[in-house]
Amino acid sequence: MMEEILERVKKALDIRESTDLSDTQLYKLLEKTRNRYHPDKTTNIDAKVDYEEKFKELTELLEEFGKHITSKPINHVHELVRVENNFDLIESKQENLRLEQKNNNLNKEIDLCKARIKELNDEITLLRNNNAEKETKKLLELYKLNRVNVYAIGLIAILGLLFNLLLQVEKVANLFAKYAPFLNEGTVSYATLLLLAISSGLLLRKYLQEKIVDNWSKKINLSSFQKKIFEDEAFKIAMLDYSGYRRGRKKEDYESFSEYHRRTTDGNTYFLESVITKFLNQEFSPKNRIDKIYQNKFLNLDRIVIYDNLKNIIVYNLLRKDLIQAAGNHGFEKAFKINQI
């Protein structure tokens, strides 16, 4: 068996004649030869494949040769010291081979894990993008005119116009006089005009509601708007308060606000989703009395639903950009950790 392995070693080293080289010397030569065929030694793609096969073949031979050397019996006492030294050397090299193979296997597993993580991250990014688009569509659908509304309001408007035109015909006037003597022509005319005005007003209000929500949705998707959230003073204070709360710190425990600020921001910073809702209310609330009457009375915007959907869109965008990450719940609210600003 040993002779067969020696022949394979000599063949790998291209030694055709008899030699006085010891097993240890042959082992070292085989190791050097193997290292010359390491795949990292070449950048040529075709050559790299050949190197990998040769490197694997020589590694297996080196390991097998090392096992036979370390198990070889000692025949003479004067060989004891030399063999012991060689045994330690080869045993350590054998251990290096085992560790190298283990490391290669682990690296392959790591590469597979990295590929899987990248695949999952791509899926998460796609889901976040889809969720952001879904929330935007959901928000627009809230005030978007559907087919039934358009037909109903349009039908009312057309009927109003027809009634108003028909009232000009004497035949219709006679019919009203005959079947509804308590109504005069002027009263019916004013009623139909009022009906037309109401239906037109409802149609206009629906259009303006959709327009405002669409403008707000476009605005919150701007990077400048998202950056503005983190620069808002109220947001910073709320962030400090909640970050301090998570660390069990209170303002009154520190002599100055600057010390509290330094201690609280030393590490991760957190915020609650309600802070974004408050910021949206601050940004989109009416700025004067006329605007307040226009938005709250005439348009009758459902701000709670709108802000909640806008908040979800902002959170999805921040998660997609990896600016924040989920940090559990705080009561009925979601908490988030800031990665970078």
Rounded CA separation 258/250 (Å): 13
Instruction: Quote the tokens at residue 27.
Output: 């082992």
- pLDDT category of residue 16 using cuts at 50, 70 and 90: low
Mean pLDDT of the region 216-245: 80
Q: Supply the pLDDT for residue 129.
A: 57
The average confidence (pLDDT) of the chain is 71
Mean pLDDT of the region 100-121: 79
Q: Is residue 145's pLDDT more than 50?
A: no
H or E element, residue 138 = helix 80-143
Rounded CA separation 238/240 (Å): 5
Name the least confident of 42-46, 142-146, 206-210, 325-329. Answer: 142-146
User: Across 38-47, 272-281, 287-296, which has the greatest mean pLDDT?
Assistant: 272-281
- pLDDT category of residue 130 using cuts at 50, 70 and 90: low
pLDDT 10s digits, 231-273:
887 777 777 667 666 655 555 554 444 554 555 555 567 788 8
pLDDT 10s digits, 52-81:
888 888 888 888 878 777 776 555 434 434
Percent of the chain with pLDDT over 90: 0
**Spacing of C-alpha 110 from chain mean position:** 22
What is the DSSP secondary-structure string of 135-185?
HHHHHHHHHSPPHHHHHHHHHHHHHHHHHHHHTTSHHHHHHHHHH-TTS-H
Instruction: Tell me how crowded residue 265 is: count the other CB atoms within 10 A of its CB.
Output: 14
- pLDDT category of residue 341 using cuts at 50, 70 and 90: low
Instruction: Quote the tokens at residue 330.
Output: 């705080």
Q: Supply the pLDDT for residue 251.
A: 52
Q: Supply the pLDDT for residue 147.
A: 47
